[in-house]
Structure 1
Amino acid sequence: MGRKKVRHEFIINDSIRRTTFKKRKASLLKKDVWPSLPEAHRVIEMFKSLPTMKRSKNLMDQEGFLKKTISKSKETLKKQKKKNQELEIKLLMSECLKITDMNNLEHLKELSCLLDEKNKQITKMIELKKSSISAQVVDGNKNEGTP
């Protein structure tokens, strides 16, 4: 069963107004959410007892925060531009394969650059794999030689 409708108007009778305020005061005031004083002191002392490196690890001023945010945004923009360019060239490549007319020199140059870049990436990956395998073999031989 619901309450009766509340009228929002000034209560003229002073004693009724005070009584109503006393009844409603607890629900009108916000609850206290701050930690107790000893708990706050304990947290501050715990922070002060940390080594300087750990204390300053996550501290950042507004300038540092903005620089970090800008650098992240620039990096994502750079990645997105590269991704868009690759997608455009892939579309161009697929169109070139569909169409036998390859007279546009600029498109052919872009296609050639893409293929060269992909070739370099593959060569780098092969070299990295070879170097990591050779490093593992050398480390494995060192471990086998010691008793």
Structure 2
Amino acid sequence: MPTPKPKVWMSVSNATRVLAHFKSLPEMDQSKKMMNQEAFLQQCLVKLRKQLRNQKSEDLELEIALLMRKGLTDGADLGEAEFEAIMSLTWMVEAKVKLVREQMEQVRNQRIEVIDLRKAKEERLSSVVGREKAPVEAATEMLSWFPEDNTGTRFTRVDSELPGLCS
């Protein structure tokens, strides 16, 4: 039986060219990102363990959410659930309650800020209104803008002289 021909990815000329390029690199670049089989497998194992841990965590969260939904909608008995699931459910409910309380506090603080802004605006408006003069004072001040004529009167009726404007 003849030996099967090995499968190669590139031609011999391409392989020698790639190998020559690799050998022409400085030694530091040649050894960069290089590892032995054991180190490579350890790195893969670490990644797989992390994926497994993340998947278990996600599965537990989904189980707890399902348990909570069953308890809320169907009134399912939690006595059938595992102790770990019940403890996790307790933890999740407490975390959600804490989150709701924090959000309520934020809303309260925002309302207080809005109320404070409104009060400041009202105070500014009242201070502006408070600085306005009474109508009599304003009229007296306006009188001082016009010089007196030689008869001692300050105003003359203009409407009789310009009948089209004041009729």
Using structure 1 for the length normalisation, give the TM-score.
0.46
* Bigger relative CO (Cα 8 Å, ≥ 6 apart): 1
Q: Which has the larger radius of gyration?
A: 2
More helix by share: 1
Using structure 2 for the length normalisation, give the TM-score.
0.41
